[in-house]
Amino acid sequence: MTITVRPALPDEYKAIGDLTVAAYMRLDDRDSDAHREYMGMLADVPARASQADVIVAVDETGAVLGSTTLVLDTNSEMAEWDEDGTAGFRMLAVAPEAQGKGVGRLLTDYCIKAAKSAGKTAVLIHSRDVMEAARKIYSDYGFVRHPEIDFAVENITLDGYRLEL
């Protein structure tokens, strides 16, 4: 299988939103206002794309295998941090049929390279304890826990990680 990682095209936004919502619902299917609001944010790829770079991984047929949102501007509504000179990525999701095939690593690699190219000094991300495969990827790349950027939403803790570039 050939996997290409690149900026998403508008005609891919619905597939990206559907994939991302499905991936995150598997982690947490609670019924609350905050959860419904977050699922709406995940689904609203055009809004994400207006504030940051939506990145997609596709196979040779053009099927969406995964996606993430790369945030290079701390002034973006998508930024979860405000430290000058930093970038980050959020909402990384991989289709179930593509898991274990390197899609998450390719998306992570793309974001790190883009941050370096943009002159950033670090990449900041957040992950949950149930995201074991993602945490393994981040550890392999050298991301280090930074509890000072942790935050919680509805008793769900998002652990902060940092990669110096």
Give the model's pLDDT for residue 77: 92
Residues sharing a CB contact under 8 Å with residue 61, sequence separation 6 or more, in sequence order: none
Give the model's pLDDT for residue 152: 80
Give the model's pLDDT for residue 40: 84
Residues sharing a CB contact under 8 Å with residue 63, sequence separation 6 or more, in sequence order: none
Distances (CA, A) of 64 to 60, 69, 81, 153: 10, 14, 28, 29
Would you call 11 exposed, middle or buried from its count of C-beta atoms within 10 A (0-12, 13-18, 19+)?
exposed
Give the model's pLDDT for residue 39: 81
List per-residue pLDDT tens for the chain, 165 residues long: 899 999 999 999 999 999 999 888 776 656 666 667 778 888 999 999 999 999 999 999 999 999 999 999 999 999 988 889 999 999 999 998 999 999 999 999 999 999 999 999 999 999 887 788 888 899 999 999 999 988 887 777 889 999 999
Give the model's pLDDT for residue 32: 64
Q: Judge contact between 159 and 150, C-beta under 8 A.
A: yes
Going from the N-terminus, what domains does the chain have, and what CATH number goes with each? 4-120 (3.40.630.30)
Nearest Cα residue to 128 out of 93, 81, 96, 77:
93
